Amino acid sequence: MQSLDDLRRMVRRIEPRRPPRAAARPVEEVLGGAVHETGAGPLVVVRREYPLAHAHGCAPLAPAFAAPLPLLAALARAEAPATDGRSLLFLDTETTGLAGGTGTYAFLVGAGWREDDRFVVAQYFMRDFDEEPALLAALAPVLERAGGVVTFNGAGFDLPLLETRFVLARRRWPALLSHLDLLRPARRVFAPSLADCRLATLEREVLGLERGDDVPGALIPSLYFDFLRTRRAAPLARVFEHNRQDVLSLVALLGWFGRALERHEGLGAAEVAGLGRLWEPVDPERAEACYRAALAVGLGGALALWVRLRLAASEKRAARWEAACALWEEAARHAAFDPRPWEELAKFHEHRRRDFARARVLVESALVRARAAETPARVLDALAYRLERLRRRAR
Amino acid sequence: MLGRILDDLLTSPATGPCITATRHVPSRPPRLAPFPPSLDPRIADALRARGIHELYVHQARAWELIEKGHHVVVVTPTASGKTLCYNLPALQCLVHQPDARILYLFPTKALAQDQLAELEGLAKTLPEMRMFTYDGDTPQDARRAVRARANLVLTNPDMLHSGILPHHTKWASLFQNLRYVVIDELHAYRGVFGSHLANVLRRLRRICRHYGSAPQFVMASATIANPAELAQRLTGEAVEEIAESGAPTGDKLFVCYNPPVVNPELGIRAPYLGEASKLAVRFLREKVATIVFAQSRLATEVLLAAIKGGVADKTGDSGIVRGYRGGYLPTRRRAVEKGLREGEVLGVVSTNALELGVDIGHLDVAVLAGYPGAIASLWQQAGRAGRRSGSSAAVFVATSAPLDQFMVTHPEYLFGTPPEHARVNPDNPFILANHLKCAAFELPVADTERFGATDVRRFLAALEDEGVLHHAGERWHWAAETYPADHISLRTVTSDNFLVIDTTARDDKQVKRRQIIAEVDWGSAFATIYPKAIYLVESEPYEVQELHWREDEEKVAYVKRVQVDYFTDAISAKGVWILQRLADQGRPAYLAEQGEVLVAEKVVGFKKIKMGTLENVGSGEVELPQQEMQTTAAWLTVAPEALARVSPSREELIDGLRAVTYLLHHLAPIFLLCDIRDLGSWLGDTTPATSGAVATRESAKRRLMDAEEFHPTIYLYDSHAGGIGLAERVFEILPALLRRGLETLEACACKVGCPSCVGPVNEVGRRAKATARALLLSLLAA
């Protein structure tokens, strides 16, 4: 440790000989914002306005404010739905890491809301860690007056993180914040058809937005740490732009959901089926309508199998055996082997029709397919057991 | 039955002469006190329902002191009702203030489970008890419920460190209302683990201050010399000590057993493992429940194999004897504990892992195969046999190491010496810096703040240089993307574990399925799971096929089940070099110094050793990287005149100095509460580190022989990076250590040196004992 102190003394001796570094330009100037005085100190706020007709990719912002919010909230299994689109707050944070816990800061909070016929994005930025109290002081009233918050993965990340920051600063966290996390419905609707459900993927595939010179999210913390050391704000401009784009994507995505729930045209089969899954807990009949529509426009793959089994189960409950059997038979024809339609068919023939021979043929061919596919022993055992019983009953 | 076997042991011509001493500890009646008047009647009823009508005096005293607001540590023997000392105030607190919070810390998850069961039994009829364990086994979805509901949380220091403190905002109600922090098995927190815990508690107290609470610490410890001092070092608070036990004890016989000499010329005794296993088999065959303590993981496995064999001869069932050690998976250990409690397992061979208070029911005999390195551990291990009533016995079987031989031939020392001091070094720079990172992550560190009582500004500045902290607004903030606690293990100075995976395992359907069979820490991995090593798990041999150790690899050893009759022992090359001198003391014949050294070690090969006979049956080479660490050391450089007085031959001097090194290393643990493995030793010289390279014993000797200048230096260093306070102590006691070395050497009956004094003659040479004696006399001359 002694040597480290020596080194530091040495550095201090060298330091003054270097020409003084040009004073960095103030952050607010570089980023086009202004310093705001909060009761808890100053911070930089960058404010941008967009007309509602602004096209984000190929999606305009306006439809978000016409979306059936209570319905959407119910579909997303959010708590108290917002009553009015105009009071929605679209929120996205940039943080010093993804680790969570008390040592991760939200150094930039982007918040968007509608003001008359414009959409406003306000970005709250702390120029150093000691401006966090000011950032939270500025954010608190914005959260308080919001009728609801819209985020993407906010339930898992942004909101717990902000809550931690509020608790640490001994500020009251608005506990009853009603929250719509678009990640949940996005997973339901897009998981089968897209490679992943990251926001960037949805932007590209759903909103038709290509971000040009976007900064990768993984680089953002180190850009902020660099800024803390160098005080050079220019490289942060891309982070601010990234954050604004994220907020606008929330608006566009909400608009997309609002429209898709009402009209299916222009949607792929997988998305329609996904909408069905979204409806499922709220309105099973509408869910089934979606499934049928999806099958009609050529839904395939594992999702189609799932949808057929789901529809068949509903037919079975209603004792519409013919329809159920038709669905099971189609499901059994799927390339990937699944024992369930075979079992259902066998049960139908054994218990309903009492056609043991037919049931036996079904189980035998299921067994052949099961052995060909890599099927767990437990499934094979169950089929073999059923076959054995059928053989006995047929005698 | 036990009495008859013991009589036979003491009197038979085969074993009688091996008994060097016995000590009978008579039974003692309980000393009782009435329930304190302030004890809530509902708790008093709950106690009565469990057959408890009075308290032991130490329990009543604890109540009194805790009620007055003191931090306390209770130091009484195994099974003396220590837990009630902290359970009663805890329950009383929750009955009266259901919103208060209490935190229990145990060194292991198993102990927390045990204690929860005990608490639940006691608290069945009490209102508002919401007690939960919170540890690595708590399912993710249950964690939120525990955080929200629990008013008594049982956890371990590791979880507090990595799961609770860094998320303290989620635990705000705990920290706001924290009334008691209970720390059981306090003696376990010494050395590295204790140095870490002291820092975790510094962090805990910081967070409590932030939320406005100041919890009272209630601690319990097995017998050590300095429980109050340890408690104060760990908690940073003044602590009251309660040392007098009111609990009854049963009748107990302690026996010292020295294996017979089989080669008087070389001073070779019968292998102690063989003797210990014979003794254990004798007890087990008569269905006497026996615990055998071995001093290393390898010794555990070798003993277990021998005892299983011996027991199977007679009963045909070797399954009644099981192994137990760290590195076994938790499920395997839980099964052994349960088996012991329920009597299905009659015997167990364990490392000191079972020294802690895991509930394994009542055992009749403890066989201590080798001196556990500390008087405190000796009594702790002996205490595993026999609980409150009935007779029991403990047999200490000495190894041929100098320390063991000293103890077994000086029973007055063994029985008369107070147990050792537990040492911690909360300011070990590596440990401290790591916890400062965590502290800053949890809550920015103010410029004016001290960490415990330590001024840490230097450290904070260094951490900023490293780029993980950032100073703003008179506070140091965490400024990195990582989660520091994840990279800091409390059990080692540095962390990283290897998984041992059996590639030949099969599941119940005989399908091949890779299976994790053990874990090995980074520090010992290269010496135990190098390629071709035989790794034993419950005495089943596995051969290591591959070891993946590179930075970018997952740390894994792939092993396969094999049938072999040997085990392997690593051969390593080593070097020690001085980095910084911090203190020195000149004597006429030598210069003693203390400071920082660089220790480099590299495993270069291994010996194959036959099970049973322990003969050398082969060897192999290994290609592994060199491991380096900076640590603290004490060293002694002999003056040229002193060397000249002893012998003109460099070779003879080197052999003699090696013998002295061996002796000092093996005797040093008497003065420190540490394991012999917590210290390392080396005979080198004062060559600077920059020009040094590791060497095996042979090449190191050649190098010393050929060196231009002959400045032989004996190093005794702390085996933990950064040091945990052992080297400073060695430096202090060096003259006493040299004297003890001379005494031991002169008392040893061998002619030319043996493992009991200066080391095996084939390693140190035939003149080594004489040279070592001359050297010691010369060093001690004023």
Are B481 and A164 inside 8 Å of each other by CB? no
**What DSSP letter does each residue of B418-447 carry, written as one string?**
PPPPP---TT-HHHHHHHHHHHHHHSPEET
Q: What is the pLDDT of residues B582-594, one digit of tens each?
A: 899 999 899 999 9
Q: Answer yes or no: is pLDDT of B388 > 70.
A: no
Please write the tens of the pLDDT for every residue from A100-109: 899 999 999 9
Count of A-B CB contacts under 8 Å:
75
What's the pLDDT score for residue B396?
94
Query: In chain A, what residues touch B464 (CB-CB under 8 Å)?
Result: none
Q: Would A48 be classed as within a structural domain?
A: yes
Over 50: is that where the pLDDT of A95 sits?
yes
**Mean pLDDT for the stretch of residues B306-327:** 78
Which residues on B lie below 8 Å from A170 (Cβ)?
Answer: none
Q: Which chain A residue has the Cα nearest residue B483?
A: A99
pLDDT digits (tens, 9 = 90+) for B273-290: 889 999 999 998 888 889
More confident residue, B35 or B406: B35
To the nearest whole Å, the CA of A226 is away from the closest chain B CA by 10
Q: Which residue of A has its CA nearest to B462?
A: A4
User: Two tokens at A209?
Assistant: 């937005």
What is the model's pLDDT at position B291? Answer: 92
More confident residue, B541 or B673: B541
Question: Phi first, then psi: what are they for A94, rounded to 5°?
Answer: -115, 135
Nearest CB among A100, A102, A229 relative to B442 is that of A102
Q: Is residue A248 in a domain? A: yes
For residue A17, what pLDDT is reported? 43
What are the residues whose beta carbons fall under 8 Å from the beta carbon of B740, sequence distance 6 or more?
A: B406, B667, B670
* pLDDT score of B136: 82
pLDDT tens digits, one per residue of A32-65 = 999 999 999 999 999 999 999 998 888 889 888 8
> Given pLDDT bands bounded at 50, 70 and 90, which one contains residue B217?
very high
The answer to whether residue B172 neighbours chain A at the CB level (below 8 Å) is yes
Q: Is the pLDDT of residue A13 over 60?
A: no
Q: What is the pLDDT of residues B84-110, one digit of tens each?
A: 999 999 999 999 998 999 999 998 887
- Taking CB atoms and an 8 Å limit, are A103 and B440 in contact across chains? yes
B477 min Cα distance to partner chain A (Å): 7
Residue B344 has pLDDT above 80, yes or no: yes
CA–CA dist B367, B27 (Å, integer): 20
Task: Return mean pLDDT, chain B.
Answer: 87
How far is B685 from B711, CA to CA, in rounded Å? 5
C-alpha distances out from residue B294 to B34, B302, B318, B350, Å: 42, 9, 19, 6
Q: Are A102 and B509 in contact (CB < 8 Å)?
A: no
Nearest CA in chain B to A166: B169
Q: Is residue A12 part of a domain?
A: no
DSSP state of B165: G
User: Which of A11-20, A187-196, B49-58, B222-231 shows the highest mean pLDDT?
Assistant: B49-58
| Among chain A residues, CA nearest to B481 | A97
Average pLDDT over residues B266-271: 77
CA distance B597 to B610: 37
Is residue A201 included in any domain, yes or no? yes
Backbone angles phi, psi at B157, to 5 degrees: -60, -35
pLDDT for residue A16 is more than 50: no
Residue A222 pLDDT > 80: yes
Domain range spanning residue A114? 24-262
Contact call for A99 and B481, based on CB within 8 A:
yes
- Mean pLDDT across the stretch A294-311? 88
Question: Angle at the Cα of A244 (from A238 to A248), degrees rounded to 5?
Answer: 140
Three-state DSSP state, B728: helix
The residues with which B584 forms a beta bridge, in sequence order, are B593
CB contact under 8 A, B470 and A221: no
Which residue in chain B has the smallest CA separation from A221?
B481
Chain B positions touching A228 (Cβ under 8 A) are: 470, 472, 479
CA atoms within 13 A on the CB side of A380: 10
Kindly determine whether residue B475 and residue A130, on different chains, have CB atoms separated by under 8 Å.
yes
- Nearest Cα residue to B320 out of B340, B334, B296, B300: B340
B168 touches chain A (CB under 8 A): yes
Write the residue in A97, A129, A168 that is nearest to B169 by C-beta. A168
**pLDDT score recorded for residue B238:** 96
Residues of A in Cβ contact (< 8 Å) with B483: 97, 99-101, 103
Round to whole Å and give the CA distance between B325 and B301. 9
Of residues B169, B461, B465, nearest to A102 (C-beta): B169
On whether the CB atoms of residues B103 and B215 are closer than 8 A, the answer is yes
* Contact assignment for B166 to A103 by CB distance below 8 Å: yes
pLDDT band at A5, cuts 50/70/90?
A: low
Q: Does residue B316 carry a pLDDT above 60?
A: yes
| B277 in Cβ contact with B307 (< 8 Å) | yes
Distance separating alpha carbons of residues A330 and B189, to the nearest angstrom = 66
Q: Inspect the interface and report whether the beta carbons of A101 and B440 lie closer than 8 Å.
A: no
B413 interface with A at CB cutoff 8 Å: no
The alpha helices in B286-368, defined as continuous H runs, are 297-315, 330-342
Question: Is a pLDDT exceeding 60 seen at residue B454?
Answer: yes
What is the structure's pLDDT at A19?
45
**DSSP code at position B183:** E
Tell me the mean pLDDT in the region A362-391. Answer: 87
What pLDDT, on the 0 to 100 scale, is given for residue B752? 76
Query: What is the structure's pLDDT at B691?
Result: 62
Q: Is B550 on the interface with A (CB under 8 A)?
A: no
Tell me what pLDDT residue B314 has: 60
Question: Chain B partners of A43 at a C-beta cutoff of 8 Å?
Answer: none
Residue A160 — pLDDT band, cuts 50, 70, 90?
very high
Question: Chain B residue with minimal CA distance to A103?
Answer: B441
The mean of the pLDDT values for chain A is 86
Q: Helices (DSSP H) in B126-166: which residue ranges?
A: 140-149, 157-159
At B761, list the tokens.
Answer: 């003659």
Antiparallel, parallel or unpaired: β B590-610 and B55-56: unpaired
3-class DSSP assignment, residue B635 = strand
- Do the domain assignments include residue A364? no
Work out the pLDDT band at B318, boundaries 50, 70, 90. low
Shortest alpha-carbon distance between residue A217 and chain B (Å): 12
B70-78 mean pLDDT = 90
Q: Is the pLDDT of residue A384 over 80?
A: yes
Nearest to B444 among A5, A129, A167 (CB): A129
Chain B nearest C-alpha distance from A60 (Å): 35
Test the B interface: residue of A129, A131, A136 with most B CBs within 10 Å: A129
Q: Rounded mean pLDDT of B546-554?
A: 81
Which pLDDT score is estimated for B633? Answer: 94
Inter-chain contact A128–B172, Cβ cutoff 8 Å?
A: no
- What would the mean pLDDT of B383-404 be, rounded to a whole number? 82
The verdict on residue A287 lying in a domain is no
Closest by Cα among A225, A37, A218, A39 to A128: A225
Contact B509 A377 (CB under 8 A): yes
Q: What is the pLDDT of residue B106?
A: 93
User: Is the pLDDT at B645 greater than 70, yes or no?
Assistant: yes
Asked if the C-beta of B556 comes within 8 angstroms of chain A's C-beta atoms, the answer is no
Q: How far apart are CA B429 and CA B392, in angstroms?
A: 45
A58 inside domain: yes
Give me the percent of chain B exceeding a pLDDT of 70: 95
pLDDT higher for B261 or B42? B42
The confidence score (pLDDT) of residue B389 equals 65
Give me the mean pLDDT over the B247-275 stretch: 85
B114–A contact, CB cutoff 8 A = no
With tokens 């003191």, the residue in question is: B70
Q: Is B583 on the interface with A (CB under 8 A)?
A: no
- The reply to whether residue A102 touches residue B166, judged by beta carbons under 8 angstroms, is yes
Query: pLDDT confidence of B480, banded at 50, 70, 90?
Result: very high
CA distance A128 to chain B (A): 7
Interface contact B613, partner A, CB < 8 A: no
Interface test with A, best of B477, B579, B630 (most A CBs within 10 A): B477
Whether pLDDT at B748 is above 60? yes
Helix (H) or strand (E) holding A183: helix A183-190
Least Cα separation, residue B136 to chain A (angstroms): 17
pTM value is 0.78
Number of domains chain A contains: 1
Whole-angstrom distance, CA of residue B58 vs CA of residue B48: 18
Q: What is the mean pLDDT of residues B287-307?
A: 87
More confident site: B209 or A391: B209
Q: How far apart are CA B289 and CA A54, in angstroms?
A: 82
Rounded Cα distance, A50 and A55, in Å: 10
B509/A contact by beta carbon, under 8 A: yes
State how far residue B41 is from chain A, nearest Cα, in angstroms.
Answer: 39
User: Residue B486: closest CA among chain A residues belongs to which residue?
Assistant: A99
Tell me the CATH number at A244: 3.30.420.10
Q: What mean pLDDT do residues B387-401 have?
A: 82
Question: Where is B348: in which H helix or E strand?
Answer: strand B347-350
Angle of the B41-49 helix axis to the B109-123 helix axis, nearest 10: 100
- Can you tell me the distance from the alpha carbon of B143 to that of B164, in angstroms, rounded to the nearest whole number? 11
Residues of B in contact with A5 (CB under 8 A): 458
Q: Does B487 touch chain A (CB under 8 A)?
A: no
Give the rounded percent of residues in chain A with a pLDDT score beyond 90.
43
Distance, CA of A282 to CA of A275 (rounded, Å)? 12
- With cut-offs at 50, 70 and 90, classify the pLDDT of residue B639: very high
Identify residues of A whose CB sits under 8 angstroms from chain B CBs: 1, 4-5, 8, 96-103, 105, 128-130, 163-164, 167-168, 221-222, 225, 228-229, 377
User: Is the residue at A161 inside a domain?
Assistant: yes
Contact: B458, A167; criterion CB under 8 Å: no
Q: How far is A141 from chain B (nearest CA, A)?
A: 21
Find the closest chain B residue to A96 by CA distance: B481
Determine, for residues A225 and B470 on separate chains, whether the beta-carbon distance falls below 8 Å: yes
Probe site for chain B from A8, A10, A94, A102 (most B CB atoms < 10 A): A102
